[in-house]
Structure 1
Amino acid sequence: MTKNEFLETPFHVDVWLIYEGERYWAVSCDFRECLYALLPDKDTKGERYTMEDARWVRCENVTLAKPADIIPFKKKT
């Protein structure tokens, strides 16, 4: 992924990326440095992973595994 693609890709709670041939869940990102924090899978119980377990990788080293499903919000009138 290029830096421009990184900046144009919406970040949300269900971003999956391919890194070194494996699928990872992106749990955070650093927009200034163009980094993703990756975990092997989702932590649904709060016990399995912490942010200390996350692996920070450059955007150029990943590809998007799951396209973003964006749900637009309607403005209240």
Structure 2
Amino acid sequence: MTTRNGVSPEAIALERIATAAREVQAASAVLEQRIGSTPRAQPSTLELARFAAAMQELLSAREEFDRVMVNSPPH
């Protein structure tokens, strides 16, 4: 099964995971920089929210990928 532009649903789902993983990595790097810069530094609410949202998107992307793979016919 392919989409109109020739990209499979599996590829689209996998790209979503990759994008979400990059966002988790970026948000994590910000937190690490903040915490590493000052021993008692606290991350901002916005930084924590960004990280939490990125983690949630990664979880959702992985769940969607699993659904796509389960519903995908064997090749």
Tell me which interval the TM-score lies in, with the shorter structure as reference length: under 0.3
Structure (1/2) with the larger strand percentage: 1
Structure number with larger C-alpha Rg: 2
TM-score (norm 1): 0.20
